[in-house]
Amino acid sequence: MSLFSPRVMPAEPAGDDDPFIESLIARMTLEEKAGQLSIFFDNAREDAPDINPAQAAKSLAEVRAEIAAGRVGGLFNGIGVASGRALQKVALEESRLKIPLVFAADVIHGLRTVFPVPLGEAAAFDPDLAERTARAAALEATAVGVQWTFAPMVDVARDQRWGRVVEGAGEDPYLGRVLAAARVRGFQGQDLRDPDTLLATVKHFAAYGAVSGGMEYNSVDLSEATLHDVHLPPFKAGLDAGALSLMTAFNDINGIPATAHRGLLTDVLRKQWRFRGLVVSDFASDAELVSHGHAADEKDAARLSILAGCDVSMASGIYNRYLPELVREGAVPMAVVDESVRRVLRVKKALGLFDNPYRSLDPEKERTQLRLPVTVALAREAARRSVVLLKNEGGLLPLPKGGRRIALIGPFASDRVHLMGPWALWNEQRGVSLEQGLREALDDAQALEVVAGCGIEAPLEGGIAAAVTAAARADVVILSLGEGDEMSGESAARADIGLPAPQLALAEAVAATGKPLVVVLQHGRALALTGAVRAAPALLAAWYLGNESGHALADLIFGDHAPSGRLPVSFPQHAGQQPFHYNHRSTGRPQTQADASRFKSRYREVTHAPLYPFGHGLGYGDIAYGATELDASTLAWDGTATAQVTVTNRGARAMREVAQLYIHQRVASLVRPVRELRGFQAVELKPGESATLRFVLTRQHLAYAGADGRPVAEPGLFDLWIAPSAAGGTPAVLRLLAAV
Ligand code: GLC
């Protein structure tokens, strides 16, 4: 896939001159047009999640009256077929023009069956898996009346203090692009008119992951080059895969709030990328232009948002309140409003809502399509594939299923809720705890003793003493530590990305018993590991694995399956080392591992290196990489070159290996990162088996985005690695020749 993939066949909405749509627009009043451009939090229904009490103002009767008055284009985050049908009926039978509602929800990583959080699933480095889980999530969401998901979140995040790292694909733009496209394909399926498909939304446009200091909702200051080279490509990939909606971000970018950013919403999105779907604000992010100090009042905010290119207002209601008068005053041209309405109606038509307004509102599917065994099995597979084995000294893992007393200690040992992670809004199913997974797998379930030891962020009276006692009489200890689900996700930025002090104290006390220690981490970001946790012989980065968490971890801990995940985010040496990302620029005083002199680009306390690098992950085996080889030392401007490597499984178990292709442009008009991921291939290897992996390169694979967003390829020398992570390895060298 080149850096700027040509548009694939998107789910192209109806053309500009669709007679049906044009006739509808011609009959709409200004108030009805504003209504079509307004969606609201749907918490009047029985199954709405209680995530925003302030929005609970409206009763169901008031919502029905608003729909009948033509002031509602869609609702979000309510689910349930019966109540959805009742609301759609109001639109179809009581409103003047009978335009169907569209029902949306934050289906981020599943609905009734909860999959690993997206950051965890990104660790699988597997677009096919990402597509399959998105497809499975779409089947469940459409079974309960959802037609539009506010996913995939495609923000590139390089500062692990930010809570929403958990929702995306991590720090790398290439991995972000590949997975954005895969998830869009999974959600939208082959034809959006199919009632089992979900309209996808790439979000949050743009650069929300670059908030200063990793602090939630904070300002973003970055260069045009970094914006185009790092943060925009995953959006382009998602739109090229056919996503027909895009959500704006809360943050400002260089002083212009994203929801009023004409440069992005119109110049880039419409003029450069030719996007024909709809743009929806984030939750009241249009009204928040006032708080930003960009709009004088909410009426001004409505004007700025619609003129910039934000078609749909989410939750604030300011389009309903102000668009009619703004048009009547001439502050907003009717043509602008009509174009936004046209985009909304085109998307509703692409969803088949005019022909089948009760699509995805089928009571039979609600009864039969949820938590299917095949979906639960997929959740277990995805959870296994998400776990990253950071360390396994002495081959401590896998553990035998019998003959050992195991002490399972920690605040998440028996947890069945936090393991779902953020944005698991509608799962009355409680997840499979680590305790349950281990007990079910053990030959003797009684060989497991479970002690919480401490709370998630608070000590437990007598907890450490009980934990030490249990550890002392065990043969091996499994420590279940990490972040509670409130410590990750939206409004969960952390100033310190280490483990909470009570958990560290517990780890020190348990480690002091000298028993072999396996640490299982539950988290939504890269963590700064210290003390006994960092020193543990076996370390599993397990993210939030969702419903099948305990089963998947037991599968790996006892060796029924081998870990194969790779880090989508770098684990730093120190919590203060943020933002940190492997694809950083060299600086004029690069500090290499060997060079410890003072006047180099580093902190006093640590080198400019991670504790565990991007792409790192171990298995239960021993994979050897041969040298990275090239079939030629030069690449003609319009030619191809092939890079290859031979990998061998020298271990005793089958392994899934993810070989990663990195490049480094040695000399560039805009200095380039010391290493950039530009491809990866997974291969299953039996014991003793070798495989040669090949990457065919063109200059597009070596190009980067210039400050204007256009691809720039520059002749010169490139280092290339095909390696097991973003660190180490000896590069091959390729010269890109100038155009002749
Ligand atoms: C939230 C999030 C966004 C979500 C929306 C609707 O504040 O920023 O990702 O889709 O509101 O819940």
For ligand 1, mutation pick of 106, 187, 218 (most atoms within 8 Å of CB): 106
Residue (of 354, 254, 259, 253) closest to 315 by Cα position: 259
Torsions phi, psi for 11 (to 5 deg):
-75, 75
Residue (of 614, 735, 613, 719) closest to 663 by Cα position: 719
pLDDT tens digits for range 446-482: 999 999 999 999 999 999 999 999 999 999 999 999 9
Whether 589 and 683 have beta carbons less than 8 Å apart is answered as: no
Helix%, strand%, coil% for the chain, nearest 5: 35, 20, 50
pLDDT score of 357 more than 60? yes
Which residue is closest in CA terms to ligand 1's atom 8?
282
Whether 526 and 532 have beta carbons less than 8 Å apart is answered as: no
Ligand 1 contact, 205 CB (< 6 A): no
Q: Which residues contact 71 (CB under 8 A, 6 or more apart)?
A: 31, 34, 35, 38, 320
Q: Measure 75 CA to ligand 1 centroid, in angstroms.
A: 13
Ligand 1 contact, 475 CB (< 6 A): no
Task: List the single range of 4-13, 352-361, 555-564 with lowest mean pLDDT.
Answer: 4-13
144-166: average pLDDT: 98
Q: Measure 697 CA to ligand 1 centroid, in angstroms.
A: 39
Give me the pLDDT at residue 14, please.
Answer: 55
At residue 11 the predicted structure's pLDDT band, cuts being 50, 70 and 90, is: very low
Ligand 1 contact, 164 CB (< 6 A): no
Output the DSSP codes for 362-397: -HHHHHHSSS-HHHHHHHHHHHHHH-EEEEEGGG-P
pTM recorded for the entire structure: 0.96
Give me the pLDDT at residue 15, please.
Answer: 58
416-427: average pLDDT: 92
204 Cα nearest atom in ligand 1 = 9
- Annotated catalytic residues are 282
At residue 708 the predicted structure's pLDDT band, cuts being 50, 70 and 90, is: confident
Ligand 1 contact, 494 CB (< 6 A): no
Q: Measure 150 CA to ligand 1 centroid, in angstroms.
A: 7
Give me the pLDDT at residue 502, please.
Answer: 98
Whether 722 and 628 have beta carbons less than 8 Å apart is answered as: yes
49-66: average pLDDT: 75
167 Cα nearest atom in ligand 1 = 9
At residue 651 the predicted structure's pLDDT band, cuts being 50, 70 and 90, is: very high
Ligand 1 contact, 155 CB (< 6 A): no
Give me the pLDDT at residue 58, please.
Answer: 76
pLDDT tens digits for range 665-706: 999 999 999 999 999 999 999 999 999 999 999 999 999 998
CA distance 268 to 689: 48
Residue (of 530, 517, 525, 559) closest to 543 by Cα position: 525
By the 10 Å C-beta count (0-12 exposed, 13-18 middle, 19+ buried), 537 is classed as: middle
Which residue is closest in CA terms to ligand 1's atom 7?
283
Residue (of 260, 137, 271, 140) closest to 205 by Cα position: 260
Residue 227 token pair: 């914006």
Give me the pLDDT at residue 57, please.
Answer: 62
Report the CATH architecture of 376-573.
3-Layer(aba) Sandwich (3.40)
Give me the pLDDT at residue 598, please.
Answer: 80
Task: List the single range of 18-22, 49-53, 521-525 with lowest mean pLDDT.
Answer: 49-53
436-448: average pLDDT: 96
Q: Measure 249 CA to ligand 1 centroid, in angstroms.
A: 9
pLDDT score of 545 more than 90? yes
DSSP summary character for residue 446: G
Ligand 1 contact, 150 CB (< 6 A): yes
Q: Measure 557 CA to ligand 1 centroid, in angstroms.
A: 36
pLDDT score of 157 more than 80? yes
Query: 448 has which bridge partners?
Result: 406
Q: Which helix (H) or strand (E) holds 635?
A: strand 634-635
150 Cα nearest atom in ligand 1 = 10
CATH of 621-736, one of 3.40.50.1000, 2.60.40.1930, 2.60.40.10, 3.40.1580.10: 2.60.40.10
Task: List the single range of 76-80, 468-472, 594-598, 729-733 with lowest mean pLDDT.
Answer: 594-598
Q: In terms of residues, how long is the chain?
A: 740
Ligand 1 contact, 216 CB (< 6 A): no
Distance set, CA 120 to CA 362, 525, 549, 609, 679 (Å): 32, 9, 12, 22, 19
Give me the pLDDT at residue 54, please.
Answer: 59
The percentage of the chain sitting over the pLDDT mark of 90, rounded to a whole number, equals: 91
Ligand 1 contact, 203 CB (< 6 A): yes
Give me the pLDDT at residue 42, please.
Answer: 87
For ligand 1, mutation pick of 39, 150, 279, 488 (most atoms within 8 Å of CB): 150
Whether 420 and 431 have beta carbons less than 8 Å apart is answered as: yes
CA distance 641 to 639: 7
The structural domains of the chain, with segments of one domain joined by +, span 376-573, 621-736
Q: Measure 371 CA to ligand 1 centroid, in angstroms.
A: 25
Give me the pLDDT at residue 248, please.
Answer: 98
Q: Which residues of 634-656 are buried (b: 16+ CB within 10 A; e: fewer)?
A: ebeeeeebebbbbbbbebebbbb
pLDDT score of 2 more than 50? no
Task: List the single range of 39-53, 185-199, 636-650, 665-679 with lowest mean pLDDT.
Answer: 39-53
